[in-house]
Chains A and B, each alone.
Chain A
Amino acid sequence: MKRIFVTVGTTKFPKLVNAITTEQVIQTLLSLGYNFVQIQTGRDFSKVEFDSVVSPPPEIKLEANSTIVTVNDKLTIKYDTYFENFEKEVEESDLVISHAGAGSCLEVLHKRKPLIVVINEDLMDNHQSELAEQLQKDGYVYCSTCSTLKEVLKKDLSKLRPYPKPDDSLFPRYLDKCMGFT
């Protein structure tokens, strides 16, 4: 089973959630052999929208707090508003598609999972794209927008560099020196 985890963190980003179910992205996912997509939708997500061109029409089921969609019997997409066990979901996935929040990106990077960061172009004054672009420049992630997601998905995930573990002693050593402890 090839899994993808899509997360928007504690913000809202319905454009990203809907981008997953555009025909081109669905076709790309099918051709790449993905068969399960877990989406954490965040606030303000009303209902699953599908391009009318997707055929045969996907089957939509409601189960507890989640919505489950099956396309062609091959691809299952599950929608949940929030996630209790974010870490477990990341660990089980083969690819994570995340909004550009530093917290979400770092958690995925620390777990050494391939990551595509989707920049929200509607937030123009937002400095979050700064971080996403830097992480892409350093080769840790691929950056995308909602409209380029279909192409970015095809990129070779094995070419991404693993994110190094931070040295936890750096800051204490520095501060001890500043304060005159050493």
Chain B
Amino acid sequence: MESQLRLELGILFIVLIVARVLFLIHKVTTGHSKYATSKRKSSCKTIICIGSGGHTTEMLKLVSNLDFTKYSPRYYIMASSDVTSMQKVEELEKAKRLPTKGTIDYRIYRIPRSRVVKQSYFTSVFTTLYSILYTTPVIFMIRPDLILCNGPGTCIPVCGLAFLLKLIFVKDTRIVFIESFCRTQTFSLTGKILIYFADNFLVQWPSLKRKLKRSEYIGQLM
């Protein structure tokens, strides 16, 4: 009898989780989570996913225009192999800090890459798993209010874990995805995945907006 009860409870538990996942995906894809429902008074903990090369340049251009007192503290997550991006982040932070004489309110985390350019989709499953394992404590410690990402592989585990936080009612993290300026007709692999998880899905070309109803084109960003 007892084992029967345990089985039923187990099934119930799984059904509830599946329902919660579907509910969250539904909320995201129908655009119901596009805007905050209440007014925010405190600053928001922000994770900024930094990719490499062009992705970094684009992301830092977007971030540089933000009011850093609102988006504080900032956690930059980047591939452990990427030295150039780290320098660029430090330059930006310094440039923003100097005129205000503020204190350092950012931190850089470096994680292993989930997928390098041209790696096969099959092997990238394993590297992604490793990358997720490595990222988990970081995300659970930060529990961010906001994640900004624009395409590099490193942002998939970050967004996945943030989704988990949301799933278990720990933190309602907003994921904002900005598709790269290079994408005018087709979505990147990251974009195709985040269609189901990003609360806000921005594209930089009207021609790409026409391909996905829930994407948004707010004007020329670059």
Contacts and interface: CB of A to CB of B under 8 A. Distances in A.
Interface in B20-42: 34-40
Interface residues of B, number: 41
A61 to B, nearest CB: 33
Contacts of B37: 180
A179 B221 contact: no
B182 A130 contact: yes
A148 to B, nearest CB: 21
A74 interface: no
B98 interface: no
Contacts of A134: 184-185, 205, 207
B62 interface: yes
Interface in B110-143: none
B40 A102 contact: no
B93 interface: no
B185 A130 contact: yes
Interface stretch (B3-11, B72-80, B160-168, B173-181): B173-181
A175 B183 contact: no
Interface string A167-182: 1111110111111110
Report whether over half of chain B's contact residues are helix, strand or loop; otherwise say mixed.
loop
Given A127-B186, A130-B185, A134-B205, A178 B176 contact: yes
Given A106-B222, A164-B220, A178-B176, A131 B182 contact: yes
A74 to B, nearest CB: 37
A10 interface: yes
Contacts of B200: 178
Given A10-B53, A103-B53, A172-B67, A166 B222 contact: yes
Contacts of B82: none
Contacts of A114: none
Given A103-B54, A164-B220, A127 B182 contact: yes
Interface in A79-132: 101-103, 106, 127-128, 130-131
A176 B40 CA distance: 9
A130 B183 contact: yes
A168 B67 CA distance: 12
B38 to A, nearest CB: 6
Interface footprint category on A: 20 to 34
B65 interface: yes
A176 B70 contact: yes
A168 B221 CA distance: 7
B44 interface: yes
Nearest to A170: B219
A90 to B, nearest CB: 16
A175 B65 CA distance: 11
A84 to B, nearest CB: 15
Contacts of B1: none
Contact of B35 (A130, A169, A178): A178
A174 B218 contact: yes
A164 B146 CA distance: 30
Given A102-B54, A170-B221, A171-B218, A181 B40 contact: yes
Given A178-B36, A179-B174, A166 B220 contact: yes
Given A134-B207, A180-B38, 16 more contacts: A102-B54, A102-B182, A102-B222, A127-B182, A130-B183, A130-B184, A131-B181, A131-B182, A134-B205, A169-B65, A170-B220, A171-B62, A171-B178, A172-B65, A179-B40, A179-B70
Interface of A: 10, 101-103, 106, 127-128, 130-131, 133-134, 164, 166-172, 174-181
14 contacts: A102-B58, A102-B181, A103-B53, A106-B181, A127-B186, A133-B184, A166-B219, A170-B219, A172-B66, A178-B200, A179-B36, A179-B174, A180-B40, A181-B70
